[in-house]
Amino acid sequence: MCNFRVAGGQVAVTQKGITLKDVAAAANVSRATAARALNSYGYVGDETALRVLEAELLESLRSLSIRGFILAPTSATDSEHIVRLVRDGAPVVLIDRVVKEVHCDSVVVDNEGGAGEAVDYLVANGHKRIGLLRDESRIFTAQERLAGYRNSLQSHGIALDESLISVSRSTVEHAVEATIRLFSRRKRPIALFTVDSLMT
């Protein structure tokens, strides 16, 4: 990978051929944001930081003439760095997630169907007020699992209750806080479905 360092307010790149401008363009962020993410200073959102690091890694691998890529995208929408790989003719296979703008092979599971089956199971066991713990992510898997939750409730004639949905960052600490908030409500859920294994 490239090694970035800050010196006198300037960001220098120690690997030949890869510049901060390249990484920022690939991640679709400003150079300042890319510098903050790569040097771990200032605030950068988790998803943006992951996208910058992913873009940096891909740009580094491209400079080494890597012939193909198997990727699990960090975002379902900000995918310019992957689009560039495909556009440049690099063989790309996406795993676990797909990105609408990227036209390539992918290997995924049925997240929507699996989420629906989980909620179906809870309903079959008499649970009607089913809480949802979800993250803020725009990642494909989270979106699909949310759709499965909603579709299952609808298929059982259960109205979607937004008060039963709690949003958290995808960490154990934030998930605990979000769960406490959810179960502290006057009309709390009697069962809980989560979209992320880190939250379970």
pLDDT in tens, 164-191: 998 877 778 888 888 898 999 888 999 9
pLDDT at 110: 94
Q: Check whether 36 has a pLDDT greater than 70.
A: yes
Asked which of 107, 124, 147 is the last residue of a domain, the reply is 107
State whether 96 and 117 are in the same domain: no
Asked which of 107, 135, 152 is the last residue of a domain, the reply is 107
Asked which of 107, 140, 172 is the last residue of a domain, the reply is 107
Query: Can you give the CATH number for the domain in which 75 is found?
Result: 3.40.50
Q: How confident is the model at residue 10 (pLDDT cuts 50, 70, 90)?
A: very low
- Residue numbers of the domain that contains 10: 4-107
State whether 79 and 8 are in the same domain: yes
State whether 136 and 148 are in the same domain: yes
Query: Can you give the CATH number for the domain in which 149 is found?
Result: 3.40.50.2300
State whether 48 and 86 are in the same domain: yes
State whether 50 and 128 are in the same domain: no
**108-112, 158-162, 164-168: least confident range:** 164-168
State whether 95 and 168 are in the same domain: no
pLDDT in tens, 46-74: 777 877 887 888 878 877 877 888 988 87
**Total of domains in the chain:** 2
pTM of the full structure: 0.68
State whether 139 and 83 are in the same domain: no
State whether 50 and 97 are in the same domain: yes
State whether 120 and 159 are in the same domain: yes
Say how far apart CA 148 and CA 143 lie, in whole Å. Answer: 9
